[in-house]
Structure 1
């Protein structure tokens, strides 16, 4: 796991104060297409069995990355195991953007997925996503940090130096790639994106990191777990960029299912996640690079409370209908 020599910086009291105005357990804002009778902030499975979906082929999509083909191989063994567990064929769907993944879920073309941290609330509220798992280390610890990076010699040595310069975000739905850094820059440093510094949207953390390394972007907000995996694969090197800010820890990609899957099938899918043996697997080879070694149970209501708070601090609403 990558160890950086720069001091770790937590989101400041100023940012925490800004977030305090927003209730931590914000009310669910589900689309009118769904109901939440049990109050867990996610869509309930339909009570009418005729509305259950029981496809012969399950479609799985992992959160968008620079090269989806790499992750098709990473997930191949796990998806074969899911086939054994469910008795269904499972197909990897290489999505190119957060919007494409969300639209596929909402349109009923996606059954099992891993949504990135910031997209999970949109998937829950607008797509009926029911998250139940997240990757974690052997000891159960989990999470990643948002980092602001620049390239050596850029002249940007602190967050204040971003003023008047260019900074890349990933996508407006991303927690670490847009929402958290936007709240930080606005609340602590008085810097407004598009006004006090030029912005660009790269589409993914991989693209942002490579853009900084190649000097296409002067700075970027990224998830450090992605950078750690890229360094482990030799895509970039530790000295290719410098970290000028590190945030508090956030939850990672949420794994779950469409709300209207046959409940027995949804249970088998969940069993596949929690019974899969990581030892010697492609998942272990890839995600050990960011300290992850297993799937653990989560709830959207508890584990995504800080993400919802950041979203509301940024004025995010979910007008899905």
Structure 2
């Protein structure tokens, strides 16, 4: 009998397992569960997301014993769909995208942890116009939100505007979607729009990094606090892996030199457990704003 060279034997075994997985209706990656596939809503430039994730990914590899792979996506909806179709295992969601994922997965998506900062998150309204000093001054002006599915760059600012009896679609001269928080700042600074809104964390980072000219662009209003970002897993991920991921995040400590860079890039002082119930307010706001049917 002719022997099959080792590389070919390995390839045939891999193909056989892949075929079996396909027959079972499950992707090969889900069968193996030796790679943790992670993604994040693209609320900043792709290069920035990769930079922020690199040390965290290495840390999660060490803590879980799994290879960690970052899966970039083009928009917010793609992250929700990737988790729902089991193409990724772990996702960095905003509050609204978590609500969308919960609905899309029939309630099986599991939010594991959030930063302490996410339990009291805010959005900043910014302008470079001398004629804007309050939300009421936005009437008749051009305005930029972030991405349509952004919690802090669209949903919650729109909701709080409605509490001030402002409807952007009727009261503003024009409404644009920049696609990301840093892009919103660029829109305002370049004079493409009169004002915009973005999450407080990205605003603070851009100010610290001197990537915004604060002699021109200023904050003129801040939203009340709300729950926002979290790390969510697909509900059928092995509970032991879920526990390892949770414990890895809860162990992170900025006072630990080995964790300092991770926490700084994540703009976190501490990670804490979270639960789906925390996002009921976000879901109610989305219904009130007409963004969920």
Asked if TM exceeds 0.5, the reply is yes
The 4+ residue runs of structure 1 with deviation greater than 6 A are: none
Distance 2:54 2:162 in 1: 42
Gaps of 5+ in 2: 1-25
Deviation at residue 88 of structure 1 after TM alignment: 1.1
After TM superposition, the structure 1 = structure 2 runs for residues 221-236 of structure 1, keeping only pairs within 5 Å, are 221-236=197-212
The CA deviation string for residues 158-177 of structure 1, in whole angstroms up to 9 with x for no partner, is: 21221111111112322222
| Corresponding residue SS for 1:91 | strand
Which residue is 1:195 aligned to? 170
Give the RMSD, CA atoms, in angstroms: 2.3
Deviation at residue 130 of structure 1 after TM alignment: 0.9
| Corresponding residue SS for 1:238 | coil
1:133 counterpart = 2:108: no
Distance 2:33 2:215 in 1: 48
Gaps of 5+ in 1: 1-49
Which residue is 1:55 aligned to? 33
Deviation at residue 99 of structure 1 after TM alignment: 1.4
Greater shift in the superposed pair: 251-260 or 229-238: 229-238
Distance 1:250 1:165 in 2: 26
Deviation at residue 282 of structure 1 after TM alignment: 2.3
Give the length in aligned residue pairs.
Answer: 260
Judge conservation of contact 1:183–1:314 (CA < 8 Å) in 2.
yes
| Corresponding residue SS for 1:308 | helix
1:317 counterpart = 2:284: no
Distance 2:125 2:31 in 1: 42
Q: Would the alpha carbon gap of residues 219 and 242 (structure 1) be closer, same or farther in structure 2, given more than 3 Å must change?
A: same
Flag the structure with higher helix content.
Answer: 2
Q: Would the alpha carbon gap of residues 283 and 268 (structure 1) be closer, same or farther in structure 2, given more than 3 Å must change?
A: same
Distance 2:239 2:265 in 1: 31
Distance 1:183 1:293 in 2: 28
Distance 2:150 2:57 in 1: 26
Distance 1:225 1:284 in 2: 13
The CA deviation string for residues 37-56 of structure 1, in whole angstroms up to 9 with x for no partner, is: xxxxxxxxxxxxx9975522
Which residue is 1:304 aligned to? 279
If asked which structure has higher relative contact order (CA below 8 Å, sep 6+), I would say 1
Distance 2:253 2:164 in 1: 44
| Corresponding residue SS for 1:250 | coil
1:146 counterpart = 2:128: no
Distance 1:152 1:78 in 2: 39
